[in-house]
Structure 1
Amino acid sequence: MTADHHEGQRVSRRRIIAGIGSIGLGAILTACSGEAGTPSAVATTEGTASITPQTAPATGLDALFARAGTCTLTEATTQGPYYFDADKVRSDIREDRQGVRLAVAIKVQDGEACTPIPDAVVEIWHCDAAGLYSGAEAMSRGEGGGGMGGGDLEPQDDKRYLRGAQVTDKEGIVRFTTIWPGWYRGRTVHIHAMVHVGGRRTLTTQVIFPEDLNTEVFKQQPYAAQGERDTFNDDDGIAGESTMTVVAEDGDGYQAVAIFGVSP
C-alpha cells in the first residue's frame, strides 16, 4: 500500500493569506477541516488571519478544463522518493529556478458526482531544469544513497524550490506558477501532486505533458544542457493517458490544466 492511502496521516495545510506571506500546513489543515467554503481564523506570528481559498474566476480556463473533462476517479501513482511537507503555502513556487514559465491549474472534484470539492489542499512538487529536486539535490544526482521507495523523505538540504500547496476555491480549483519540469534518467517529464481532503491524503498522482511541447521546450536553455532524454511518455512505467495534461500557449510560457477526480 502506497503512502497516499495512509488514511488519517496529516500534513501541514497551507494558503496565501491577505497581508501575510504564508503559514504552515498544520494551521491550514486545522482551519480547513471545518465547513467547506467557510473562512476560518488562525493565529500566526503576525496576529490572527482569516483563511479563505482563492476565488479568482476560472475565466479563460473553462475551455481547457472542458477539453480535460472527465468524471472518473484519477489513477493513483507512486509518490516517488522525494516527497516531504515543504511547509510552503504559495502559488508561485519558482524561487530562483530558471526555465520556461508554466501556469498550472488543477480542479479537484468528486470522481462520481463530478461536483467540485472546495477547501481541499493540493500540493505539487517536481524537479528543476537540471533534474534536481529541492530538499534532495544530492540524492537527485545519485549521491548520498537513498532508496526509490514511496515513503516520505527526511529533507537532505534546506532548498524548497518547486514545491508548494494551495487550497481549492469554491470551484475546486487551485493555481500555481512554476517552470516546465526538467527530466532525469528513467522517467518522462512529470509533476507530482497530492490531494488532501478533510485532513487525509486522498490522492497521490502524477501528471505528464505532450511530447511535442517537451521537445520544443528542451531546445531552450537551461534544459538543452541536459542533453538527450532516455525516457518518453510511451515507455515510461508510470505515465498513462489518464495522467496527461491539457496545455496551451500562454504569453511567454504555457498554461496546463488537469482534473483530479477523488473519492472524498
Structure 2
Amino acid sequence: MGHDHEGRVSRRRMITGLGSLGLGGLVTAGDTGVNAMVDTASDPETHAKADALFARARTCTLAPSTMQGPYYFETKAFRSDLREDRPGVRLRLAIKVQDGKSCRPRPGAVVEIWHCDAAGYYSGAEAESRDAMSGSAQIKIDPATKFTDMKPSDRRRYLRGAQIADPGGIVRFTTIWPGWYPGRTVHVHVMVVVDGDRALCTELMFDEAFNRQVLALPPYLQHDKPRDTFNGNDPMHKDAMLTHVTEDGDGFLAVIVLATDHRDR
C-alpha cells in the first residue's frame, strides 16, 4: 500500500497556492490538470471490467440525495489511492457523473469520497467515531437530519480524497472495502461538485452477499459485537445506491453512475 504523505502534502500546498477556492473553485478556476498529479487507480484489465459494469449500470435516473453525515470536511487531497496505512480488502471504485436530463457525461466535475476504515473509524474524527462505535455517543441517523462541515479533531486523512472527472465523466479511486459501525450499513459517502456548487451528496452501498464475504475476513473480524444494521434496515439505504461489483484480482471493483440535476450557469 502506498505511503505518499509527502506527495499529498506537496499537492495540497500547490492547490492551496491557487487560492482558497475549495474543491469546486479549483475546477471553476480551470485547473483540470490535477488528475495528472495522482497515481493511476487501475490497470487496463480493470478498466475493461469497469466498462462492462458501466454498461450494466447505465441510467438517467437522478441519484438519491442524502445528508453529508457528521464526519465531512474538505480535505483538498486530490489523489486516487486513499488507503495510506489502513488494512483491508482492496476496493477499486469507478464513478461516472452525468447530467440527469441529457444523460451526457460531466467532465470536470469534482468527486470527493470518504468512508470509515475496517474498524469503523473516520480519519479526522477518530475520537468521535470511536465513541460512536463504543456506544458512549449516539449520532441521530435520520434522513432529515442536517449536518454542517465538521472541524477535524485529528490530523489523519486516510480513506478521504477527491478526483476530477475525465472526458467520460469518470473518476477512479483505490481504497479498501469500508467497515461498519452501529446504526449504519456498509457505505461510502460521495460529494459531487459541479461548477463550484455542491450538486449532489449521496452514498454508495454494496450487495449484502459481498458484505458478508468481506466482513468475514481480517481485519474486519476485530469487532467484538455483531452488525446491527444491514441494507434492509438502514435508514439511508435505497436500491439506487447499490454499486455493481465484481472480483478484481485480490480485491473487488465497484462502479456506479450518478446523475445530477445541476444546471450549467
Tell me whether the two structures share a fold, i.e. TM-score over 0.5. yes
The CA distance in 2 between the partners of 1:52 and 1:202, in whole Å, is 20
Q: Which residue of 2 aligns with 1:10?
A: none
The one-letter code sitting in structure 2 at the alignment partner of 1:234 is G
Matched, 1:181 2:170: no
Q: Tell me how far 1:63 sits from its aligned partner.
A: 1.0
Q: Bigger shift: 146-155 or 114-123?
A: 146-155
Q: Tell me how far 1:225 sits from its aligned partner.
A: 1.1
The one-letter code sitting in structure 1 at the alignment partner of 2:248 is D
Work out whether residues 98 and 258 of structure 2, in 8 Å CA contact, stay in contact via their aligned partners in 1.
Answer: yes
Work out whether residues 93 and 162 of structure 1, in 8 Å CA contact, stay in contact via their aligned partners in 2.
Answer: yes
How many residue pairs get matched? 233
> Which protein has the bigger strand share?
1
**Correspondence for 2:27 among 22, 29, 32:** 32
Could you list the runs of 5+ residues in structure 2 that have no partner in the other structure?
A: 1-6, 141-145
Could you list the runs of 5+ residues in structure 1 that have no partner in the other structure?
A: 1-16, 35-39, 42-49
> Which protein has the bigger helix share?
2
The one-letter code sitting in structure 2 at the alignment partner of 1:104 is L
The CA distance in 2 between the partners of 1:155 and 1:52, in whole Å, is 24
The CA distance in 1 between the partners of 2:26 and 2:230, in whole Å, is 41
Q: Which residue of 2 aligns with 1:51?
A: 33
The CA distance in 2 between the partners of 1:236 and 1:92, in whole Å, is 28
3-state SS of the aligned residue for 1:141? Answer: helix
Distance 1:187 1:147, change over 3 A: closer
Q: Tell me how far 1:226 sits from its aligned partner.
A: 1.1
Q: Which residue of 1 aligns with 2:70?
A: 81
The one-letter code sitting in structure 2 at the alignment partner of 1:132 is Y
Q: Which residue of 2 aligns with 1:44?
A: none
TM-score (norm 1): 0.81
Question: Kindly, what percent of the aligned residue pairs are identical?
Answer: 51
Work out whether residues 62 and 259 of structure 2, in 8 Å CA contact, stay in contact via their aligned partners in 1.
Answer: yes
Work out whether residues 107 and 116 of structure 1, in 8 Å CA contact, stay in contact via their aligned partners in 2.
Answer: yes
The one-letter code sitting in structure 2 at the alignment partner of 1:260 is L
**Correspondence for 1:102 among 80, 91, 105:** 91
Q: Which residue of 1 aligns with 2:197?
A: 200
Matched, 1:90 2:88: no
The CA distance in 2 between the partners of 1:147 and 1:230, in whole Å, is 15
3-state SS of the aligned residue for 1:142? Answer: helix
Work out whether residues 102 and 177 of structure 1, in 8 Å CA contact, stay in contact via their aligned partners in 2.
Answer: yes
Q: Which residue of 1 aligns with 2:151?
A: 154
**Correspondence for 2:260 among 256, 259, 262:** 262
Matched, 1:130 2:119: yes
Work out whether residues 31 and 51 of structure 1, in 8 Å CA contact, stay in contact via their aligned partners in 2.
Answer: no
Q: Which residue of 2 aligns with 1:232?
A: 230
The CA distance in 2 between the partners of 1:190 and 1:114, in whole Å, is 25
The CA distance in 2 between the partners of 1:90 and 1:77, in whole Å, is 24
Q: Tell me how far 1:263 sits from its aligned partner.
A: 1.6
Q: Bigger shift: 242-251 or 67-76?
A: 67-76
3-state SS of the aligned residue for 1:212? Answer: helix
The one-letter code sitting in structure 2 at the alignment partner of 1:113 is S
3-state SS of the aligned residue for 1:60? Answer: helix
Q: Which residue of 2 aligns with 1:12?
A: none
RMSD: 2.3
Work out whether residues 53 and 119 of structure 1, in 8 Å CA contact, stay in contact via their aligned partners in 2.
Answer: no
Q: Bigger shift: 170-179 or 56-65?
A: 56-65
TM-score (norm 2): 0.81
The one-letter code sitting in structure 1 at the alignment partner of 2:257 is I
Q: Bigger shift: 119-128 or 55-64?
A: 55-64
3-state SS of the aligned residue for 2:95? Answer: strand
